[in-house]
Amino acid sequence: MTTVVPAPIDTDAPPRPSRALEVTFAVIALAMCVAYFTLSTQIELRREAPPGQLDARFWPLVLGTIGVGASVALLVIALVRPPANRDDLERIQRGGSLRVAVTCAVTLGYVAIWSVSSIVALGYRIELFPFATAIYMFLLLLVYGLRNWIGLIAYPVAVTGFIYVLFGMLLRIPL
Amino acid sequence: MNAFADGLGALLDVSVLLYMLVGLLLGFLVGAFPGITATMAIALAAGFTMTLEPVQGLAVLLTIYVAANFGDRVPSILVNTPGTPASIATTLDGYPMAKQGRAGLALTISALVSAVGILASIVLFAAAAVPVASFARDYFKSPELFALVVFGIAVMIGISSKSMLKGILAGVIGLMLGTVGTYAATADQRFTFGILELLEGFNFIAVIIGLFGIAELFDQLLTHHQSKVRPISSLGRWWPNRAELKQTRRALAVGTGVGIGVGLIPAAGGDIAGLIGWERARKVSKHPEEFGKGSIEGLTASDTASSATLGGSLTTTMALGIPGDSVMAVMIGSMIIWGITPGPNLFVNRPDLVVSITGIMVIATLLSLALSLVRMRGMVKLLDVPQPYLWSGILVFCIIGTYATSNSLSTVLTMLVFGVIGVLLKRMSVPPGPIVLGLLLGPLAEENLSRTLAILPTRPFLEVVSPIAIILLLLAVLSIVMPAIRNARKPRGKRGALADSILDDEIAEVAHAREELDAEPDADPHPVKETEK
């Protein structure tokens, strides 16, 4: 029985050109530009534009037309020409997409908790922002691979304190 | 005289100096950490400076702009990684010098010539800003202003895009985003879908922090891999001797000229100037064969040129309202929030601002130079800061900074959405610059096109549309067509944005010089050679 050894992945190599990706992008761009153009034709005009002015639909229709034209050209090029190289980009690493997805999820959770503003517990009004921020940073550090317990606790506490003093107390922004 | 006294007087407030020190620290840090660009830092700081007076806010943002221009040379020289795109050309000779045990000398020369480049360009700003603004105010009516906006966006597309079609699409997307909200002429609502927050359009700061800050961060999260790269730690001698200083003269002159010229072109920044400066200096050098192998001339030319763009960039931004580079696009957004609209009327109405801005730039340059000459050893340690601290810190400050612009969490969501859109566009090689410029200048373009089209039927064409407008529109077309033709002539694998193609002819020689250098025994005990995948 022979063992197939997979070829090592060169993490420094740029991503490979992809026709599928280029076509998908062009199709999405075309769909969005068509939607924009269609919505432009439906802009509700409450009154005629005053003399020396154009109505609210004119400029969006111009842009929609240019956008559709550019997207169609992009789609045609994506279909008939070889896909462009992607040397200017770095390859997506294993776990990279997960890091981004978890970051987005944790951030949405943080914003949701922050929006509650404060809770009343045991007769005291407790502002959630400092606790939410410290926990948020702790989770981010954990997701990004930090395993140093001092860093995981001290850094979020220090940054949260700095933000609270600077924004909440000095700049008087209602956090 | 009053304007001069008022402008200087505004700087005498001690708070301005304190804000400059904050900007200095921030600028150096963002410059020194690869991956954090000056645009990202200014976008972030925009949230912090909302509540400040205009001069105080300008002190923070302009000092970050200047200081980042010094800080970004450190990783270029010590790790062969540009701190910001403006220091790409610094790696060509700075890193070889470091490998030869002359890192200290490279850092000192880089700081000195960067200061000379910035100061020379500030002279241009001080001398040209008011005349350019006055000229624009006298001769730029609606058709010319529309043509100027089209020209600005076209140049940004031509310079930043690998694919012209994607660049055009980016510009159109930006202009489309600019149509969201209430149409000023008739108060009709466009694309608001009944959402109250969209009545005034997208929050500009949230969009730019999303596109430049969050998108860049997400890209790093996607592509980061463990690396054992260590900065070169043997810095060697620091001060150049007389002969070495003499070597810099010619390159200094070439770099300054190139930098000032490139800086005046809207949307062209330090990265392009640095590469052109290096290439020009090589052509006129008596020792072109040393370029790419640790040449003091090469380092001088690239760093002077990229630094000398600052004044030109500031001139087009403040006097014409067309951002000189992406940093300035963000700066315009902040200035509008402070109630200052950059453009032909700015310096006519507030000539004191020229003096204040010049003063801030000069002081920021001198402070940055001083800090550059004393802090180098400490900066080396900064390069070892673990990424998780950086990423989490950037993210939380992006969120708080964006929230501070409107005290509304919906703005944070806007930022996050544009961050995701931004990273997707980045992965498709769609540049964010034209989007931001389109969003920023779209309403101005629409307003002036509308006026022009209204006047056109009533008067002869050439009476309405002046030669200036026609020339600007022609230049706009050329800005897109010429790079497209240049790209079309190249093999498909070698096509790229302008900055990628400046050294096309030299790249093989530079690569060969690097190979030779790598083959030589290292002067440094901790050379940067291996990267663990």
pLDDT tens figures, B123-177 = 998 888 888 888 888 888 889 989 988 988 888 888 777 788 899 999 999 999 9
- pLDDT in the model for residue B492: 61
Tell me the C-alpha distance between A1 and B262, whole Å.
64
Specify if A109 maps to a domain: yes
Average pLDDT rounded to a whole number, residues B217-225: 88
Average pLDDT rounded to a whole number, residues B32-42: 78
Domain that holds residue B149: 2-519
Q: What is the percent of chain B where pLDDT is above 90?
A: 27
- pLDDT in the model for residue B3: 76
Average pLDDT rounded to a whole number, residues A59-88: 91
Do A55 and A110 belong together in one domain?
A: no
Specify if A88 maps to a domain: no
Tokens, residue B335: 């200035």
Specify if B145 maps to a domain: yes
Do A161 and A123 belong together in one domain?
A: yes
Average pLDDT rounded to a whole number, residues B259-283: 86
- pLDDT in the model for residue B526: 46
The 3 state secondary structure assigned to chain A is CCCCCCCCCCCCCCCCCCHHHHHHHHHHHHHHHHHHHHHHHCCCCCCCCCCCCCCCCHHHHHHHHHHHHHHHHHHHHHHHCCCCCCCCCCCCCCCHHHHHHHHHHHHHHHHHHHHHCEEEECCEEEECHHHHHHHHHHHHHHHCCCCCHHHHHHHHHHHHHHHHHHHHHHCCCCC
Which residue on chain A is closest to B390 by alpha carbon?
Answer: A141
How many domains are there within chain A?
2
Specify if A164 maps to a domain: yes
Specify if B529 maps to a domain: no
**Residue ranges of the alpha helices (H) in B340-466?**
346-349, 352-382, 387-406, 409-427, 433-455, 461-464
- A1 has pLDDT over 60: no
Do A110 and A163 belong together in one domain?
A: yes
Cβ within 8 Å, pair A70-B173? no
Specify if A1 maps to a domain: no
Residue after which a domain boundary falls, among A49, A80, A111: A80
B165 contacts on A by Cβ (under 8 Å)? 70, 73-74, 77
ipTM: 0.90
Tell me the C-alpha distance between A63 and B288, whole Å.
49
Cβ within 8 Å, pair B449-A97? no
How many domains are there within chain B?
1
Tell me the C-alpha distance between B95 and B77, whole Å.
4
* Contact in structure between B293 and B517 (CB atoms under 8 Å): yes
Do A75 and A111 belong together in one domain?
A: no
Per-residue confidence band for B221, with pLDDT thresholds at 50, 70 and 90: very high
Specify if A141 maps to a domain: yes
Specify if A72 maps to a domain: yes
Specify if B528 maps to a domain: no
Do A58 and A24 belong together in one domain?
A: yes
Tell me the C-alpha distance between B24 and B449, whole Å.
41
- pLDDT in the model for residue B525: 45
Residue after which a domain boundary falls, among A55, A80, A105: A80
Per-residue confidence band for B64, with pLDDT thresholds at 50, 70 and 90: very high
Average pLDDT rounded to a whole number, residues B468-497: 80
Tell me the C-alpha distance between B350 and B370, whole Å.
31
Cβ within 8 Å, pair B454-A52? yes
pLDDT in tens, B115-138: 999 999 999 988 888 888 888 888
Specify if B532 maps to a domain: no
- Listed range (B60-74, B337-351, B492-506) with the worst mean pLDDT: B492-506
Tell me the C-alpha distance between B13 and A115, whole Å.
38
Do A160 and A112 belong together in one domain?
A: yes
Do A147 and A101 belong together in one domain?
A: yes
Specify if A8 maps to a domain: no
Residue after which a domain boundary falls, among A10, A45, A80: A80
- pLDDT in the model for residue B519: 63
Tokens, residue B185: 């002429």
Closest CA–CA distance from residue A1 to any residue of chain B (Å): 30
Q: Residue count of chain A, please give it.
A: 175
3-state secondary structure of B233: coil
Specify if A106 maps to a domain: yes
Specify if B526 maps to a domain: no
Amino acid at A63: L
- Put simply, whether B185 touches A (Cβ < 8 Å) is yes
Q: Which of A47, A82, A146 sits opposite B492 (nearest CB)?
A: A82
Average pLDDT rounded to a whole number, residues B182-203: 88
Q: Which one of A23, A144, A153 would you mutate to disrupt binding with B, by most B Cβ within 10 Å of its Cβ?
A: A144
Rg (CA), chain B: 23
Domain that holds residue A24: 19-80
Tell me the C-alpha distance between B259 and B183, whole Å.
40
